[in-house]
Amino acid sequence: MDYLQGLNQSQKDAVVQTEGPVMIVAGAGSGKTRVITYRVAHLIQKGVDPFNILVLTFTNKAAKEMRNRITTVVGPEAKNIWMGTFHSVFAKILRVEAHKIGYPNNFTIYDTDDSKSLLKSILKEMSLDDKLYHHNYVYGRISMAKNNLISVTEYQQNEQIQADDFASGRGFIGKIYETYANRCFKAGAMDFDDLLFKTNVLLKEHPDALNKYQQKFKYLMVDEYQDTNFSQYLIVKKLAAVRENLCVVGDDAQSIYAFRGANIQNILNFQKDYPDVKVYKLEQNYRSTQNIVNVANSIIANNKNQLDKNVFSDNEEGDKIKITRSFSDNEEGKVVAESITQERGNNNLNWVDFAILYRTNAQSRSMEEALRKLNVPYKIYGGQSFYQRKEIKDLIAYFRLTFNPSDEEAFKRVINYPARGIGKTTIDKMILAADQANKTLFDIACEANQHLDNRAATAVGNFSIAIQSFAVVAKTSSAYDAALNIAQQSGLLKDLYDDKSVEGLSRYENMQELLNGIKEFSEREDIEDRGLDVFMQDVALLTNDDNDKGDNKDTVSLMTIHASKGLEFPQVYIVGLEENLFPSQMALNSRADLEEERRLFYVAVTRAEKKLHLSYATSRFRFGTLVNCEPSRFLDEIEPKYLEIEFVKKQQNNSQSFGDERSQWQSKTSKTEAQQGDFFSKPKVATSNPIKTTSLLAKAHVPSAGFAPSDTSKLQVGQDVEHERFGFGKVISLEGNKPDIKATIFFKEIGQKQLLLKFAKLRILEN
């Protein structure tokens, strides 16, 4: 029981309460991971069989860290806990139970690229406009349906869904969803969303399977519960229904994934789902200074929809939070880069102690340019995953086809790579033959002489024989030997080796690195099954966080705020704090969206341990045009006593509040260009109309009765329009091509704005 001695009272109470429903509300930096791991260790110490404990996380990285910590307390027994991501745990269950819902147990798991590739093929076959039915949009629509457990039939029969699709001009999405689902089933494949969707189907339609896992998992724990979607919520609720030994851990203030389907109501309503729940609040922040915690609290207090808690810190008070204003995004990058260099030298820090966080990936440009000019090493966090590189996906496609010849996407990817003289015409003939005979492409390849001319039949037949031979070797070989055989006999290794360009050498090295990783996997002693098929499943279930393993180099980290969740740094710079950027313009249509943006800001602030720097620019290039910007409303929500204000061009009194600074800025920007020069250097913008500065405190526009966006596909220059938030205006110019046409509009109340028509939601007024 020594492990309990290092816990504060709230943490200890949460750890020892093992029976019945429990909710642990864990503020940022409050030792959440320690509580989860010690609670599991405590269950085992009490005599609970580890095989009866299920712990669900959102990344394999988190699961690995927890398992390692539990091992230090209870020893090797920790290996027997069912612990992993939702997708990995339920993929494991489906490997056993898939036959009950009509799937082979060796089903392929499609990653996002595979799914989108299949959708592209379907859209092409259906002769649909790929701009209107963009595969990203269609994929997102289908994904959201699955996350909400809406089947193909329910999607097609739901009047509201159909009305929405037809209103957007996309009435065929239901048919695309049906075709996509049928093609996945025919290929013996499940996409990521299917792993949860099909688990729900299994538990709903097969009571024996539900009962089996209800009896098996006597204790359930869910990490980051605020990030669960409806599908995940329902699985957990079903599995815990018998004993209700369910412990959820999370922080509603860090719920930032609504765009992925996460539903904050799952944690907000947990007490309604389980009236007997015991609630424990971890409110002491061990990570950040008191000033940083106070700033975070003053921000999140503006959200109405939240659980009550009082996060505090006993750490040092720390420096005030510095807000820097620059006159352009490039100047902002320069100021941040210079500040990092100065802070590093003054405080004897390493580059890795700094992080720059931004709302959108596009903002990294000005930061990168400024860092390069000062020779500051940096890394873009969340860049392309090793497993997303073309050469890696090519070899893995061969692996997939070896174990599941029905995998259509893998088949199409490698049938003619390396080149075998099998052209598009031949592949199209095979697809047609497969559809007519209701067979897989691999079936047709094995019968090539019946469907193709002699030359094509020989090439396709040889390919099918090669795949079958790979399968024979894989059954009796280690993962490494099977992988090496496929890499060599397929011709992939030779093709990359023969490319003597710099890029070719890099790709060959990547291939060798993959084989090295498989070699290491083959020699692991902590798992029983070390076959190539198991390795493939591990790769398929990696999350973005797991893919970015980092190289441990001393570099400044650049990343979006979404990517920063779960990380911490001694010094953090949050840049681009401007209206319509952060909060995003897309988030200003509803309170729910705005509150999610505020939670995103809260997450960003709480990444900082010692120092927090906030910055914004008064002008920024957007879509090639320099536009004036105003400070984010979130800055106004911070209590001034925690802040230090700094202007790039003129140092002001540090005791000045941000509210006072905003008033000065607004009054100054309404004066002449010469007068503005006294306050800060403002870049000149060529425009036919003066741009008025918006006051955030001004009365908001009230939309006209019955306001409804018009079809803007035929919008013309000179037309009068109404925007839900900006009010009435006139179209000054239109530029770009569909679907990315930009309209420059002069609004009566706020001046000139440039909007993307596909997002603008304008009502066209009759002239």
Question: Annotated catalytic residue: which of 11, 32, 232, 252?
Answer: 32
Q: Are the CB atoms for 44 and 74 separated by under 8 Å?
A: yes
Question: Is-catalytic flag, 503?
Answer: no
Q: Is 31 annotated as a binding residue?
A: yes
- What stretch of H or E contains 534? helix 532-540
In angstroms, the CA 186 to CA 403 distance is: 15
Question: Annotated catalytic residue: which of 11, 179, 254, 289?
Answer: 254
Does the bond joining 631 to the residue before it have cis omega, within 30 degrees of 0? no
Question: Is-catalytic flag, 223?
Answer: yes
Question: Is-catalytic flag, 32?
Answer: yes
DSSP 263-302: -THHHHTHHHH-TT-EEEEE-B-SSS-HHHHHHHHHHHTT
Q: Is 27 annotated as a binding residue?
A: yes
**Residue 759 neighbours by CB under 8 Å, 6+ apart:** 585, 586
Q: Which residues partner with 569 through β-bridges?
A: 608
Q: Is 26 annotated as a binding residue?
A: yes
Question: Is-catalytic flag, 45?
Answer: no
SS (H, E, C) 294-338: HHHHHHHCCCCCCCCCCCECCCCCCCCEEEEEECCHHHHHHHHHH
Tokens of 481: 């030997």
Q: Are the CB atoms for 321 and 292 separated by under 8 Å?
A: yes
In angstroms, the CA 692 to CA 698 distance is: 13
Tokens of 208: 């024996």
Amino acid identity of residue 640, one-letter, is P
**Residue 148 neighbours by CB under 8 Å, 6+ apart:** 229, 230, 231, 261
**Residue 25 neighbours by CB under 8 Å, 6+ apart:** 250, 251, 252, 279, 280, 281, 282, 307, 309
Residues shown for the chain: 767
Q: Among 69, 26, 23, 19, which residue's Cα sits nearest to residue 48?
A: 19
Question: Is-catalytic flag, 254?
Answer: yes
Question: Annotated catalytic residue: which of 97, 111, 193, 224?
Answer: 224
Q: Is 625 annotated as a binding residue?
A: no
Amino acid identity of residue 406, one-letter, is S
Return the exposure string of 727-738: e unless at least 16 CB atoms fall within 10 Å of the residue's CB, then b.
bbbbbbebeeee
**Residue 544 neighbours by CB under 8 Å, 6+ apart:** 382, 385, 563
DSSP 349-412: --GGGEEEEESSGGGHHHHHHHHHHTT--EEETT---GGGSHHHHHHHHHHHHHH-TT-HHHHH
Return the exposure string of 340-365: e unless at least 16 CB atoms fall within 10 Å of the residue's CB, then b.
bbebbeeeebebbbbbbbbbeeebbe
Question: Annotated catalytic residue: which of 141, 334, 607, 610?
Answer: 607
Q: Is 28 annotated as a binding residue?
A: yes
- What stretch of H or E contains 452? none
Q: Which residues partner with 284 through β-bridges?
A: 312
**Residue 428 neighbours by CB under 8 Å, 6+ apart:** none
Does the bond joining 377 to the residue before it have cis omega, within 30 degrees of 0? no
Distance from the Cα of residue 189 to its chain's centroid: 23
Q: Are the CB atoms for 425 and 405 separated by under 8 Å?
A: no
In angstroms, the CA 223 to CA 254 distance is: 13
Question: Annotated catalytic residue: which of 13, 17, 18, 33?
Answer: 33
Q: Is 32 annotated as a binding residue?
A: yes
Q: Which residues partner with 246 through β-bridges?
A: 220
Q: Are the CB atoms for 4 and 38 separated by under 8 Å?
A: yes
Question: Is-catalytic flag, 159?
Answer: no
Amino acid identity of residue 521, one-letter, is F
Measured between alpha carbons, how far is residue 523 from residues 227, 480, 481, 539, 719 in Å?
Answer: 36, 9, 12, 17, 70
Q: Which residues are annotated as a binding site for ATP?
A: 26-33
Q: Which residues are annotated as a binding site?
A: 26-33
Q: Which residues are identified as catalytic?
A: 32-33, 223-224, 254, 607
